[in-house]
């Protein structure tokens, strides 16, 4: 928590420090800390009410990070791999909450695989960040399921298994917002985080986030150096809040402008391509091709901004939340109660 005085405030009247958290206890240089910084910045710029921010996570170095941002929000650090389910519970209990879940590649793609797939399928309205470093950081460097076949571990072992591409997986499962970022690319990440928040549904951000302690060596396919060399930007992103003016006019064919439910706009400009992120099939193709080439494709890969989210599908969106329901909301009138019982005579 910084204690800067005379700090500037955002539109919501909150200071940057309201979005910060405790000092990080991660290793110096850990990619996860960069992501934390960008979340702080994005949330500040979006002007979210910090006390309505709910931060969920599983277990791992990545899952510790919710303690390092938005200290005025509420954190629920659950058990390993189960961030999705507690997030769904919280969102159903109070759909006004702005839920962000942070997970790791071990947390999501190994033990949490089942919950992850089903969260995506339900399109729960939340931001889902996977801080993907290809290893289990907190347990000291074992391969995770997103580690590429042939990758070398710090102690020299070679990974024998094909990696799971979380972006392709999410699209296949019917996900509605799929993007990949890199912890060292703040600009891209900032736009992605903002768009994730504005999106109504599950926004899956697969952020490659090097583990400087256990997976930053020669032979690693998730080292800072390797990712820098292999990062291919799919698109340039511009996020325009409802109260902002787009900086430049968009010529047709040059970019896709996507209006998001909260009134903001996302401007997607293909880099050497004209990929429309609404095209599911093209998205899968791009992923598969870049994969074959050994590239790491980053940017907004796929979006379906008009799909219903879970609360809407279930009609759990009364302004009065489940958490606020009282006796009158919950109990049928006496007559209805008696009538029901009468059916058992």
Ligand X SMILES: Cc1ncc(C[n+]2csc(CCOP(=O)(O)OP(=O)(O)O)c2C)c(N)n1
Give, rounded to a whole angstrom, the gap between the first and last alpha carbons of the chain: 63
Q: 11 vs 308, which CB is nearer to a second copy?
A: 308
Q: Does 114 bind a second copy (CB under 8 A)?
A: yes
User: DSSP character for 153?
Assistant: P
Beta carbons within 8 Å of 338's beta carbon, 6+ residues apart: none
Q: In a 3-state reduction of DSSP, which class is residue 19? A: helix
**Which of the residues 233 through 252 are near another protein (CB under 8 A)?**
none
Phi then psi dihedrals of residue 146, to 5 deg = -100, 5
Q: Does 288 bind a second copy (CB under 8 A)?
A: yes
Q: Does 27 bind ligand SF4 (CB under 6 A)?
A: yes
In the complex, minimum distance from the CB of residue 288 to a second copy, in angstroms, rounded to a whole number: 6
**Which of the residues 55 through 74 are near ligand SF4 (CB under 6 A)?**
61
Q: In a 3-state reduction of DSSP, which class is residue 108? A: helix
Contact mark string toward ligand X, 178..217, x via CB under 6 A:
---------------------------------x------
Q: Does 100 bind ligand SF4 (CB under 6 A)?
A: no
Burial 151-163 (b: 16+ CB within 10 A, else e): bbbbeeeebeeeb
Tokens of 38: 């960008």
Which of Mg ion, ligand X, a second copy, none does 169 bind, CB closer than 5 to 8 A by kind? a second copy
In the complex, minimum distance from the CB of residue 25 to another protein, in angstroms, rounded to a whole number: 6
Q: In degrees, to the nearest 5, what angle opens at C-alpha 325 toward C-alphas 322 and 329? A: 120
Quick one: which of 113, 114, 106 has its CA closest to 144? 106
Q: 141 vs 201, which CB is nearer to ligand X?
A: 141
Interface with another protein: number of residues (CB under 8 A): 80
**Which of the residues 133 through 162 are near another protein (CB under 8 A)?**
136-140, 142-143, 145
In the complex, minimum distance from the CB of residue 97 to ligand X, in angstroms, rounded to a whole number: 24
Is the four-CA dihedral 149, 150, 151, 155 of positive or negative sign?
positive
**Which of the residues 296 through 325 are near a second copy (CB under 8 A)?**
313-314
Alpha carbon distance 33, 227 (integer Å): 17
In the complex, minimum distance from the CB of residue 106 to a second copy, in angstroms, rounded to a whole number: 12
Q: Angle 113-122/83-93 helices, nearest 10 degrees?
A: 30
Tell which one of 56, 63, 110, 133 touches Mg ion (CB under 5 A).
133
**Which of the residues 101 through 160 are near ligand SF4 (CB under 6 A)?**
133, 137-138
Tell which one of 97, 135, 169, 240 touches a second copy (CB under 8 A).
169
Stretch that binds ligand X, among 59-67, 68-76, 279-287, 337-345 (CB under 6 A): 59-67
Tell which one of 8, 252, 281, 341 touches a second copy (CB under 8 A).
281
Which of a second copy, ligand X, ligand SF4, none does 213 bind, CB closer than 5 to 8 A by kind? ligand SF4
User: DSSP character for 123?
Assistant: T
Tokens of 48: 């979210």
**Residue 233, burial from CB neighbour count under 10 angstroms (0-12, 13-18, 19+):** middle
Beta carbons within 8 Å of 14's beta carbon, 6+ residues apart: 44, 47, 49, 50
Which of ligand X, a second copy, ligand SF4, none does 168 bind, CB closer than 5 to 8 A by kind? a second copy
- Contacting positions for ligand X (CB under 6 A): 59-62, 80, 104-107, 131, 133, 135-139, 144, 211
């Amino acid at each position: 928590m910084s204690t800067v005085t005379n700090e500037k405030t955002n539109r919501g009247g909150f200071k940057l420090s309201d979005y910060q958290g405790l000092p990080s206890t991660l290793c110096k240089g850990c990619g996860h800390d960069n992501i934390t910084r960008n979340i702080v910045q994005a949330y500040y710029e979006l002007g979210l009410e910090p006390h309505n921010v709910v931060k969920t996570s599983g277990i791992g170095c990545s899952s510790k990070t919710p303690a390092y941002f938005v200290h005025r929000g509420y954190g629920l650090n659950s058990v390993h791999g189960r961030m999705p389910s507690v997030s769904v519970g919280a969102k159903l209990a109070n759909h006004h909450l702005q839920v962000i879940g942070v997970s790791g590649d071990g947390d999501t793609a190994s033990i949490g695989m089942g919950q992850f797939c089903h969260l995506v399928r339900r399109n729960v309205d939340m931001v889902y960040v996977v801080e993907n470093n290809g290893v289990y950081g907190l347990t000291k460097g074992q391969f995770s399921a997103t580690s590429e076949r042939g990758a070398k571990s710090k102690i020299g072992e070679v990974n024998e298994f094909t990696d799971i591409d979380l972006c392709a997986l999410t699209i296949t499962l019917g996900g509605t917002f799929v993007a990949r970022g890199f912890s060292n690319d703040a600009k891209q990440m900032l736009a992605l985080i903002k768009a994730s928040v504005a999106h109504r549904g599950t926004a899956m951000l697969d952020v490659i986030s090097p583990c400087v302690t256990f997976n930053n060596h020669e032979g690693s396919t998730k080292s800072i150096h390797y990712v820098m060399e292999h990062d291919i930007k799919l698109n340039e992103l511009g996020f325009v809040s409802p109260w902002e003016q787009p900086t430049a006019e968009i010529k047709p064919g040059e970019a896709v402008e996507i209006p998001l439910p909260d009134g903001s706009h996302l401007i997607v400009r293909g880099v050497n391509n004209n990929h429309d992120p609404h095209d599911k099939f093209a998205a899968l193709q791009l992923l598969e091709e870049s994969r074959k080439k050994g590239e790491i494709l980053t940017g907004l890969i796929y979006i379906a901004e008009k799909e219903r989210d879970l609360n809407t599908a279930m009609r759990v969106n009364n302004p009065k939340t489940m958490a606020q329901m009282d006796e009158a909301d919950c109990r049928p009138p006496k007559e209805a109660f008696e009538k029901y019982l009468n059916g058992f005579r």
